[in-house]
Structure 1
Amino acid sequence: MADYYEIDFLDVETDSSGDAITVRYEVGGETLVHVVDGGYQVTGPAICSHIKKHYGTTYVDHVVVTHCDRDHTGGLATVLEEMDVGILWMLRPWEYAAELLPRFATYTSVDRLRARLKGIYSKLVELEEIANRKGILILDPFQGATIGAFTVMAPSRARYLDLIVASENTPESVEEAAATPADRMRMLARAAMKKAAQIVAALWGDEMFSIEETSAENEMSVVQFARLSNHRILLTGDAGRAALTEAADYAPMVGLVLPGLDKIQIPHHGSRRNVSTEILDRWLGPRLRSKPAAGGETFSAIVSSAKADPNHPRNSVKRAFIHRGGAVFETESRSIRSYGGAAPNRDGWGLMTPADYPNSQES
């Protein structure tokens, strides 16, 4: 069991939201440092500075890339270059080109498919090149992998390969090539179905989420769970409903009885496409009859959201976490420290007030 932990959700303040998380914890006298995602390119120096100043080290045991989006990978090149890194945990689609080849209609060569996938996921290639040059070990964070005190809950290898094929960025799959014109029209209609989000008044407990699903890339997100200082902690990246369901299905394998978490990262900066009533019920329990009194919340939910980003977090998502007894905290131009056990004092970092409960939501 950890003697203490501190998880810092760093400020990623641009016109859109991003994720950059640093973690330090001590187990049996051994201290470990993790970096989970790196925000945009401009975020990288801030991550390194934060670790040096507040953790007193230049060594990072584990760097975890949850998925390929630039608001998660951008700053990690700086981290790999400037810090001493033990292991880089990163999924690389081109590593599975031979296995995937029969599933792509327009490719007959493993080398050509591998080159195409490297072209699509060029930011991951950059990180791979830095790691190889610096002798940093790269490992696959598939379901069941152990990253220090954390266990990967999703994605499984099989689902990850399916997501590579399903991605809108990858070459035409065999299934798409075989689709009839009517099938294609239906796929186009689904892709074009955009429902404008209008703000409407809502009563306590009302929940309305998007009918659209999040992207295949977001569904590739590495979901991690750990027990630190007797706190159950879930880091989600941009995981969508399928990833969160797969992770929940795996919970018994790590002795996690659901519902029940103490700290959770709200996925994808509070997007309405990543959660649902059913999934949140499974992870956090059913909606309460009324809002808990201040200080009576049963868990914390942290969302990385830029103040300049008008689309995140959505009211409907904040409401849903509060419905289940959560205290919701938003970065919004500030960094958030969540900690437990005998965590070291940190000057200038005080208590934060949870976000207010929105009395309206997106329709």
Structure 2
Amino acid sequence: MLFFLFWELTLLPLYFLISFWGIGANRRYAAVKYTLFMLAGGIPILFGFILLAFGQAELSGTAPPVGLVFDYETLLNNPLPAEMQTLVFFLLLLGFAFKTPLFPLHTWLPVVAMEGPVAIAALMTGLKLGAYGIIRFVVPMAPAAAQEFHWLLAGLGVMGILYGAVLAIAQTNLRRMLAYASISHVGLVLLGIASFTIQGFQGALFQLLNFTIIAGGLYIVTGFLHHRIGSTDLINLGGVAQSMPLLTAFFLLFGLASMGVPGTNGFPAEFLVLVSALGSHTGAGLAALFGMVLGAGYFLSLYRRAFLGPARSAVVIDALDLRRRELLVASVIAFLVLAIGLYPNSVLETTRVASEAWVAHLLTQ
């Protein structure tokens, strides 16, 4: 319940940050849409937690409210009957799907990415609290149901991968493209979770860490570009590399990391997820591979049109490259991208024990 309390409290500052400090003309609409979506998602989460507490009271034979249990460890070690697990599974999955976001509950993210502050867009795409909720609550609280409906988790993951990639190809704005790209990448996380293997789970955790670094870096660099040009629409860009070579280089590096190019931190995460998916859900794994090809297509296409070629705008021609403090921020992120990509064991060893415990709990139920 403490988790749920702070989950809902995040809505208040985000509403004001988007509506007052957004950069789009429809920022108040974006703030209201985000708030309503999150409130709607909070309802099934609350009912799922309450159902867990009442289930524990029923198991112990103690009448509510005395027998109600909200302690995480107690709920984890005393799973509910299979029928009740199914209801808890769908309630929690639905609630966290709003925040993740999963298709078709994703429509708030592109709006917030376009209308809200760039820092908030980086936060929304970089910190996938919905995916954390699936890992922390959905699967461990209903392990039998999660294994029964593993095909649903894998299917939602593949749908997100392909849908996000196809929509990203059709975009003509860098910020909106990055929003749909994050929807595609979070589908890969769900696919890794659905494999129920240590390899897949570690890949999913690795990918969540990458969201913070890569997606955050891409949005920050895009924010630098917007600050100079006043727009991230392709029609106002072109030839950015001529006047801003450093900004262009960092955007390319972070984009290559999002594509999973070897040597960057995106490669080991995507490799682990794909290998585990091909073993547990072969069809879904092949679809995810196709989605990665689409991912390379949409990024390289927009990169070419926005940054390469002749500069058509006087604003682009006269724009300044990264200042020292901006260069410092981008350099720190670039260092993390390369350091973790070259030494992935620094992350894998940190998450190994927790991953083994998570999978062991699932398989013993």
For the criterion TM > 0.5, the same-fold answer is: no
Higher helix share: 2
Higher RCO, Cα 8 Å, sep 6+ = 1
Q: Given the two structures, how large is their TM-score scaled by the length of structure 2?
A: 0.29
Task: Provide the TM-score with structure 1 as the length reference.
Answer: 0.30
Bigger proportion of residues as strand: 1
Which has the higher Rg, Structure 1 or Structure 2?
2
